[in-house]
Amino acid sequence: MTHAADRRDLAWWIDRTMQVLVLAGGLSAIVFIAGIFLFITREGAGFVFDRFDFREFFFSPRWTPTSNHNPTYGALALIAGTASVTGLAMVVSVPFSLGAAIYIGEFATGRVRETLKVLVELLAAIPSVVWGFIGLSIMNPLIIQVFDVPVGLNVLNSGIILGLMAAPIMTTIAEDALKAVPDGYREAAEAMGATRWQVTFKVVLPAARNGLVAATLLGVGRGFGETMAVLMASGHSVNLPTSPFDSVRALTATIAAELGETAAGSDHYQALFTLGIFLFIVTFAINLAADVFVRGGRRKYRRRGRRPAASANP
């Protein structure tokens, strides 16, 4: 008797092929990131090795790359611009996103909860240029009117815009962190007479702490990397801000606005790439930190051993 062809022999080949394909997919992500880093490093290398002055770059607020006599490349004002806008954005977005995540994750039920989740995800999909437009055409006159200042394109404007922009994605991640807290914790605490808020505050938030920190860090990363909205709402003037009503210029916006006007390979061109390297390193570090926090949260409260299988017992 001959054996009929076993479908599983074919499946074995498919399995091998698919493993190679997904491995290639996974590796390509790493290759692309490494490639991007190599590219910006190569473009900025000339500047970094020949012209780079550590003290000037980090401590001088004078960014005058187009000066004919004495071009200077002090990035302090740009770093301060990005940092101040991101900082204010976090002040705006952390309470909003945390509150929204707690409401969606712990208090809302059924249809309200599902609707809110969809809405929050939709908000995350608004293009940044639209946010910039809102900053330019709504926030700008509003700030001029309310605070009686001459210009409404400043740290306050772009901080609020960026905060609102980062809030939805932070909400989604924070809500995921809350959802990762086992329901057993909530039931156990609630069974002993703790109110919903007590359960949230004493049990759920501490248990989700790492995920919440990660959400905030990703928001910070978003703020650091955001270009268009900040370019439109910040006023785009090189300035060390001393109040929220000062116009500033962000690192990202500088690159976006100036790169097109520089000669490839010039000092200016390479200096912009150096800003890019700096941005890359900072956002990479922030994302890495967020990842470490998420992993920490996952490992901390789970025992490594297996639990006996639970019998369904309604």
Which residues of the chain form contacts with other proteins (CB under 8 A)? 109-110, 181-182, 184-185, 187-195, 198, 202-203, 206-207, 300-303, 305, 307-308, 310-314
Shortest distance in whole angstroms from residue 307 CB to other proteins: 7
Cβ-based neighbours of 300, under 8 Å, separated by 6 or more: 210
Dist CA 143 CA 141 (whole Å):
6
Shortest distance in whole angstroms from residue 200 CB to other proteins: 13
Q: Which is nearer to other proteins, 264 or 309 (CB)?
A: 309
Q: Which is nearer to other proteins, 125 or 312 (CB)?
A: 312
Structure tokens at 174: 């924070």
| Residue 243, helix vs strand vs coil | coil
Q: Which is nearer to other proteins, 62 or 179 (CB)?
A: 179
Dist CA 63 CA 123 (whole Å):
35
Q: Which is nearer to other proteins, 28 or 195 (CB)?
A: 195
Look at residues 298, 277, 278 and name the one whose alpha carbon lies nearest to residue 214.
Answer: 298
Q: Which is nearer to other proteins, 123 or 205 (CB)?
A: 205
Contact 224, 283 (CB under 8 A): yes
Q: Which is nearer to other proteins, 70 or 311 (CB)?
A: 311
Shortest distance in whole angstroms from residue 101 CB to other proteins: 18
Shortest distance in whole angstroms from residue 100 CB to other proteins: 21
Shortest distance in whole angstroms from residue 148 CB to other proteins: 48
What is the enclosing helix (H) or strand (E) of 54?
A: helix 54-59
Shortest distance in whole angstroms from residue 191 CB to other proteins: 4
Structure tokens at 314: 């309604």
Dist CA 272 CA 73 (whole Å):
9
Q: Which is nearer to other proteins, 16 or 299 (CB)?
A: 299
Burial class of residue 217 (count of CB atoms within 10 Å of its CB; 0-12, 13-18, 19+): buried
Tell me the helix, strand and coil percentages in the chain, rounded to 5: 75, 0, 25
Contact 67, 49 (CB under 8 A): no
List residues bridging with 64 in a β-sheet. Answer: 72
Look at residues 249, 278, 266 and name the one whose alpha carbon lies nearest to residue 43.
Answer: 266
Q: Which is nearer to other proteins, 207 or 271 (CB)?
A: 207
Shortest distance in whole angstroms from residue 237 CB to other proteins: 48
Shortest distance in whole angstroms from residue 185 CB to other proteins: 6
